[in-house]
Amino acid sequence: MKEKYTDYSAYVSRSNTAETDMMEKVWHTVDFTQNGKPKSVNVLATDPMDAIICIRVQHEAGAKI
């Protein structure tokens, strides 16, 4: 059965600090629905949209996360 992924959202996993403000990528949490069940993963990304794109590309390639 093909996996169905929907309802992507993302946010910064930890509060910003002076140190993280200087980093190109920081940890983001991406929430999504997989076959009707809520899931979350953490990914290094430049911003929330970049985090969603990273996870969607993996899903479209058939990776099970």
Q: Would residue 41 count as lying in a domain?
A: yes
pTM for the complete prediction? 0.88
What would the mean pLDDT of 43-54 be, rounded to a whole number? 97
Give the count of domains, the chain.
1
Q: Find the domain containing 37 and state its range.
A: 5-60
Angstrom distances, CA of residue 64 to CA of 3, 6, 57: 8, 14, 11
Nearest to 8, CA basis, from 27, 30, 26: 30
Confidence of residue 2 (pLDDT cuts 50, 70, 90): confident
Q: Would residue 46 count as lying in a domain?
A: yes
Q: Would residue 65 count as lying in a domain?
A: no
Per DSSP, the chain holds a count of helices (H) and strands (E) of 2, 3
The model's pLDDT over 19-40, given as tens digits with 9 standing for 90+, comes to: 988 999 999 999 999 999 999 9
Percent of the chain residues topping a pLDDT of 90: 74
Report pLDDT for 1: 65
